[in-house]
Amino acid sequence: MSNLYKTVRLDIEKTPLLDKLARASGELYSRILVSYWRVLRKKGIFLSNYSMQRWHISSDLHAHTCDAIADNFYASIRSANQRKKAGDTQAKYPRRRKYFYKITWKSAAIRLKDGKLVLANGRGNKPLIFDWQWDQPKQVEIGWKQSGGYQLRATYPVAATNAPVGNLIAAVDLGELRSATTHDGQETVIYNGRLIKSKVAYRNKITAQIQERISKTKRGSNRRKKLVRAKSRIVAKINHQIKDILHKQTQHIVSTLHKKGVQTLVIGDIRDIRKSMDYGKEMNQRLHSWSFGKFRELLSYKAKILGMQVVLQNEKDTTKTCPGCGKKHKPKGRLYKCRSCGFKFDRDGVGAINIRSKYLGCLGVPVVGVMATPVGVRYRPHLQCSSMSRRFPVGQ
C-alpha cells in the first residue's frame, strides 16, 4: 500500500447540522485536551490515546469520528515532542480549548450511493449527504476555512504510476532567490523564486501596517477585533498564494524531469538552512524555512507519484567545489568563477551539478567537456501549469 494521497476539496454550505457537528467535535476535543493535562498535573500520568478513546465519546458523532479527534490531539502532542527534540524553540503543545473543531469520517462511516456521498453521524443525527462525482474516498474531513465557510476534503490513496522510461539521475539545489536549480547531467534549469520573495515582503509590509493600527485601538474594542480578523484573512490569503506557486513550480520541475526519463531525483539536504540565512526578523526566517521545507516536501511527494526514487544528499562542499578542476573556492555573487582553472558557471547551477556528483560519489572529479548554459524558467501566475513558463537563457 502506498502512503501517497490525493485530495478533492469542496467548499460547502453552512447548515445547522454542520454547525452542530463541528461544535460537538470542538466539545469532545476540549474534553480530551483538558483531561490529558489535568491527569498529567494531578497524577503525573500520560494518558494513552487508547484509554482516552474509551473515556471520552460524543453521541452526536460517529464512533470513528470520535476516535479521529483523539488521534489528532495525540498527533499534535507527538509532533510538538519531535520538534522540541529537534531543537525547535517555537514548538508548542496543544493547550487551547476549541469551540469548533474539524469533523473526520473514516471509511466505515463513508458510503457512496447513486452519485451521493453519505457521511454517517452519531445516534439521533441524520447523515450528511452530498452530490458526488468522484469515487468513494478513504477519508473525509470537514473543517472551517480561515477565509470563512466550511470546506470538505476527501482523500484518496494513489498508487505510484509506472517508473519513467530511462535511468537518468537529476539533482535539485534549493536556494533562496532562485527557488530551485536542477541538473540532469547535461542540462541545468533555474527556477526563479523572486515571486515568492515578493509575496513574503508584501505580507510583512501589510501585516506591519495593520499591526500599527491595532496598537492604536483599545483592548477588547470592536475596532480591534475587526482589524485582527482582517489581518489573519490577509495572511491566510497570501499564504495560500505562496502554496499555489510552490505547487505549480514543483509540478513543473517534476514533470519536466519525468519526461526526460529521470529515474532518481537527488535533493540537496537543506537541514542547516536556518544557519546559512541572515534574516533579521524571526517571522521572516520562519516563513522562509517553512517555504523551503514545503518545497522539498512537495517535490519528493510529486516525484514519488510519478514513480521516481527520491534521495536526500548532504550538501557539504557542494557550493564551493569547482566542477571544472575540483578545487574549493568560496563563491562571490551569483556567478561562480574558479580562480584555478577559470571555470565560470551560475552559482546555483554549480550547486546542482555538485549535489549530483556527490550522490554519484565523484564530487571534485573534473567534469569532462563544456557545460551547457543554464536555462531559466520564470514563473507566470496567469498561465496554466504545463505552460506556465517561458524558457530563457541566463546571461553569464
Instruction: State the residues that interact with Zn ion by CB under 5 A.
Output: 322, 324-325, 338, 340-341, 343
Q: Judged by CB, which is closer to Zn ion: 320, or 380?
A: 320
- Nearest CA among 268, 348, 271, 265 for reference residue 302: 265
CA distance 358 to 283: 33
Closest distance to Zn ion from the beta carbon of 337 (Å)? 9
Closest distance to Zn ion from the beta carbon of 328 (Å)? 9
Q: Judged by CB, which is closer to Zn ion: 51, or 340?
A: 340
Q: Judged by CB, which is closer to Zn ion: 193, or 324?
A: 324
Closest distance to Zn ion from the beta carbon of 279 (Å)? 32
Closest distance to Zn ion from the beta carbon of 318 (Å)? 15
What's the Cα-to-Cα distance from 9 to each of 6, 142, 155, 156, rounded to whole Å? 10, 10, 9, 12
Closest distance to Zn ion from the beta carbon of 346 (Å)? 15
CA distance 265 to 294: 17
Q: Judged by CB, which is closer to Zn ion: 310, or 325?
A: 325
Q: Judged by CB, which is closer to Zn ion: 190, or 371?
A: 371
- Nearest CA among 84, 257, 289 for reference residue 186: 257
112 forms beta bridges with 117
Closest distance to Zn ion from the beta carbon of 357 (Å)? 13
CA distance 279 to 286: 10
Q: Judged by CB, which is closer to Zn ion: 293, or 366?
A: 366
Is 303 within 8 Å of 156 (Cβ atoms)? no
Phi, psi of 230 (to 5 degrees): -60, -40
Q: Give the three-state DSSP class for 281.
A: coil
